[in-house]
Amino acid sequence: MSHTAHIPSHRKPRRSASKLALRAGVAGGVLSTIAVAGAAGPANAEPVTETIEMPTLGSLDTELASAVSASAEASHQEALDLSLRAQEDAAIAKAAQEAKKAKAEADRKAEAERAEKARAEAQERASRTQARTQLSPASSSDSGSSDSGSSYSADSSTQAPTGSAAAIVAFARAQIGDAYVSGGTGPNSWDCSGLVQAAYRQAGIDLPRVSSSQSSMGTSVSLSNLQPGDILYWGSRSGSYHVAIYVGGGMYVGAQNPSTGVVERSLDWDTPSGAVRIL
């Protein structure tokens, strides 16, 4: 037998992990419950017990995680809103730029079409004038020709109008292409008598405002003896409903109607009822 067999050991026996956990749980339960008993109450009064729930680390972790999650979700939503706003602004700017480009292209095409139309009309007028000039001698020498049924003839003079007539004709032709507006007196829209009144004002002559009064002025002339600057009228002389200015070469300029505006036309296009000369 060993000589140390009868010496008792001074080390405390080890406690298992399960026992430690059990004791900790019991101690926690005791600390989390506070009993308050009434010391001065009746002898038969029952004790009052109040339990206070102490926050645990688990609940704090849950609340913190929820707050972090909510903050992250709010930041993500804000980022999405900013991204959508940026995309909308970019789309609006792009649409505006495309609309501006389309408008510029449409304006360019419209201007080209107007220029082409004006060039074609000028060529057509030149062709008609040349044809009338070539046919004029035959018409004057043979009253029994096919033109004998017309009540007018183009002036045979190839010289441009001069003096007051030149000013009137030049002004009238400068307004070709302007709009027709009832009651219009310029500068970019006219009715028939407003255009005639403004053209004669260039020669220092004041005419009445309405067509019936204008056609009653001056001296009546036949359509076969017209001169540039003469006033053409439609209807009766004292009750005309439309007037225009004869510009020579069998042509006149007038503010016709809303669909055509101010145009230069042949007397064949709409033969007037008569003419007056004021110059």
DSSP string, 207-235: --SSHHHHTTSSEEE-GGG--TTPEEEEE
Q: What is the pTM of this model?
A: 0.47
Contact 217, 243 (CB under 8 A): no
The full DSSP string for 57-116 is HHHHHHHHHHHHHHHHHHHHHHHHHHHHHHHHHHHHHHHHHHHHHHHHHHHHHHHHHHHH
CATH code of the domain occupying 161-277: 3.90.1720.10
Domain ranges (residues) in the chain? 63-135, 161-277
What pLDDT score was predicted for residue 37? 42
What pLDDT score was predicted for residue 89? 87
Pairing of strands 189-190, 179-180: parallel
Which amino acid is residue 182, in one-letter code? S
In angstroms, the CA 23 to CA 202 distance is 121
What pLDDT score was predicted for residue 135? 39
* Tokens 């038969």 sit on residue: 44
HSE of 86, CA atoms in CB hemisphere, 13 A: 6
Contact 133, 207 (CB under 8 A): no
Q: Which helix (H) or strand (E) holds 117?
A: helix 57-141
Averaged over successive runs of 10 residues, the pLDDT of the chain (279 residues) comes to: 51 52 48 44 52 59 78 84 86 86 79 66 55 40 35 50 91 96 94 96 94 95 96 94 96 95 95 95
Neighbouring residues of 202: CB distance < 8 A, sequence distance ≥ 6: 167, 168, 170, 171
Omega before 13 cis (within 30°)? no
